[in-house]
Structures are given as structure tokens and as C-alpha cells.
Amino acid sequence: MLVLRVGLTGGIGAGKSAAAARFVANGAVLIDSDRLAREVVEPGTPGLAEVVAAFGPQVLGADGALDRAALGQVVFADAGARKRLEGILHPLIRARSAELAAAAAPDAIVVNDVPLLVETGLAPSYHLVVVVDAAPEVRVERLVRDRGMSPADATARISAQIDDAARRAAADVVLDNSRSPEALAAAVDALWTERLVPYEHNVRTGQWADKDPLATLVDYDPTWPAQYERLAARILHRVGPHRVDHIGSTAVPGLVAKDVIDMMLTVDSLAEADSLAGALTAAGFPRKPGVYQDRPKPPDVGPWEKRMHANADPGRRVNLHVRVAGSPGWRTALLLRDHLRADTADRDAYAAIKLANAGKPIDDYLDAKEPFFDQLYDRAIRQP
């Protein structure tokens, strides 16, 4: 069974637990990794037996339960010991998390509260990653007020964690919790209603998010390449080692574009493309039915057949072109992208064509660009 899986994380004092509680209030199924970390080492579990075998009976209390303070003294001052402990706990936590997700209702939105989501490289395994963020001084104030830490201790705890910028870089959504609890609740509610509920429906039913029927253009967004990287990692997590490229206008720095990330997954054959359809759907990129072909460039008469998938996430439109390695459509997509990246005159000429036809229905917009693309292809292919 496929359910929408959301990864939730944030630094200490940012308010991740408050966000998790609000997701639950909206109807989410919450899987708390901290709670699972305790569950998998309860007395009598294989996890506790592995921990004792690795670190000795001194980590057990008189009652036979794990003595967390004693274990902490062993691992927190020893990076190697800490990695051994993580090697025991993390697979058990992931397995238990998968069991709980599988037991959720078919229309559930599962929120995985994972403090070390970024550090452990788990981001690509979720359909969406949400990071709760707050200014460092706000986090220090909260830790002093709510947990009784000194300002120095709070600052040290924050500094010991992964850099905030690295955590934000892994996020599809950043919830700023520097303000009031009511503001955070409103942000969670809006995310739930406007994005997660329709995303869940699309994933469950194998549908993609509706596209804009008009050619709405925006200025180049310097975050598009980073967004592409996150999406590619999510795809590769499901399909295994393959080539994925960022193509189209959002892959050309400085070029106006529709706010749609175009990506290309390379396969050895269309039969392989068909065999990957289930994995891509599970990643949140259902296949578009029907026959899709690129428009051949002269003198090739085609057909340049491919498979098309699109993102189920209404908050990030994506076209995923699945093309055979070395095919004319595959070569052309890379050739024109690279040419526009290198030739600013042609990039600006293309931008002028796009802007002249902005706001038209998509098919009319594509038709208007095609003569320019034929000429561009001819220039690009003649370059050494």
C-alpha cells in the first residue's frame, strides 16, 4: 500500500514537536523516531540484546532495562562507539517505522518526526521534507525558558547539531517558527489543506497535479537547481542507479520560464521505461497515459517516442521525460540546454520569443516557439 510520507525535522528549540502536534490535530498519522528509539531497546527486544553485546552489561540497569545515562557516557565521548550504536538502532527504527506506515489507513498522511533526518541521509525516502526553523536567538530563549538550560548550554547544544543552512537545503518546505505558536499553527494548517491533502489524493490515485493551462512565465529562480537535486534524489531512491538530468528552461541560468522543473530520466529502452512506471509512481511521479513524442527536428521525420511522468505534488510542478539513451530526443534535450547555457545571445533571443507569447494557451505557446527551436537546433548541431 502506498501512503503519502512526510519527513519532519528541525533543530533543537525550533518547535518541531509543536508542528508535529498540529499535524496530528489535522489528522496525520505521526511516527515519532525518538519514541521508536526507546521502543526498539525495551527489555526483551533483540535491539537491547544487540546493544548489550556491543557495549557490555554495564549499560543495563538493575531492573534489566537500558541505563541510558550509562550508555550515554560510553557513546557520546566516542565517535566510533556512537556510530556502532547508530548502526544498531537506525535499521531497527526504520524497519519499525515502515511497519507503522504500512498499517496506516489507505488515505493516511504519515508524518515521520525524525530529528536526524538530514544527517542520516533519509530525505529522498519521503514524498516531502518539512523543516521547522527559527532564529538562533529565539531557540536559545526557548531552551532557557522551557528546558531550564543556561544560555551557554543552549547555544552549545544548537552549535553541536548540523548547520541550519544544511537542514534548510534538504527542505521542500520550511516552516518559520520564530513568531507565535498561532502563526506556526496557521502555517501547518495551510500546508495541510493546500498541499498535503491534494498531494495524498494524487499519490493514492496515481494522478499528477493540474497544470496551468496558460503559459505563465516567471523570472529565473536561483533555487531551481537545488529543487531539481532534491527531486532527482527522490527518483533515484526508487529506481536505483540511473542518469537523471535537469533540462528545459529552468536549467538555463538567467532564462525566464514557466515555473515547472523539467527532468529527464535516461533508460536503455522504452521497455525499461515501462518497467519503471510503478517505482516512479511510488516516488510521487505517476505516468501520463497515452503516447508521447517529441517534435522531430529536420531532417529527422521521427517519431521521437518517450514516456512522460509528472509530479503529484501540487506545490511543485514537474515534467519527467523518460527517454532512451542516445535517441534523437535525448540528444536534442541535452544539446539545446547546453547551447543556451553557453550562448547568451541565443538565450536572450529565446527569452524574447517566450515573452512575446506569454499568457497564451500552452499548445499555442509551444507552437509559436517551434520555428525558433528548429533554427536553434540547426545552429547548435553545427557548432564544434
Q: Where are the domains of the chain?
A: 4-205, 217-382
| Residue numbers belonging to the annotated binding site for ATP | 13-18
10 Å Cβ neighbour count for 141? 15
* CA 230 – CA 205 distance, rounded (Å): 23
**Residue 290: predicted pLDDT:** 87
Residue-level pLDDT at 157: 82
Distance CA 45, CA 13 (A): 32
**In terms of DSSP bridges, do strands 109-113 and 128-133 run parallel, antiparallel, or are they unpaired?**
unpaired
Mean of per-residue pLDDT scores for the chain: 92
Question: Residue for cell digits 529565446?
Answer: 350
Query: How much is the pLDDT for 378?
Result: 85
CB atoms within 10 A of CB 281: 18
Closest CA to 208 of 108, 124, 283, 288: 288
Supply the pLDDT for residue 1.
65
pLDDT at position 256 is 97
* 196, 109 contact by CB (below 8 A): yes
Tell me how crowded residue 8 is: count the other CB atoms within 10 A of its CB: 28
DSSP secondary structure, 297-347, as one string? PTT----EEEEEEE-S-TTS-EEEEEEETT-HHHHHHHHHHHHHHH-HHHH
**C-alpha cell recorded at residue 121:** 541521509
pTM: 0.89
Residue numbers in the known binding site are 13-18
Which fold is adopted by the domain 4-205? Answer: Rossmann fold (3.40.50)
194 secondary structure, DSSP code = I
- CA-nearest of 371, 369, 341, 375 to 215 is 369
Identify the residue whose cell numbers are 515573452: 355
pLDDT of residue 162: 86
CA–CA separation, 158 and 62 (whole Å): 34
Query: How many CA atoms lie less than 13 Å away from 53 in the CB half-sphere?
Result: 8
In whole angstroms, give the CA distance from residue 365 to residue 35.
Answer: 53
Low-confidence ranges of the chain (pLDDT < 50): none
CATH superfamily for 217-382 is Beta Polymerase, domain 2 (3.30.460.10)
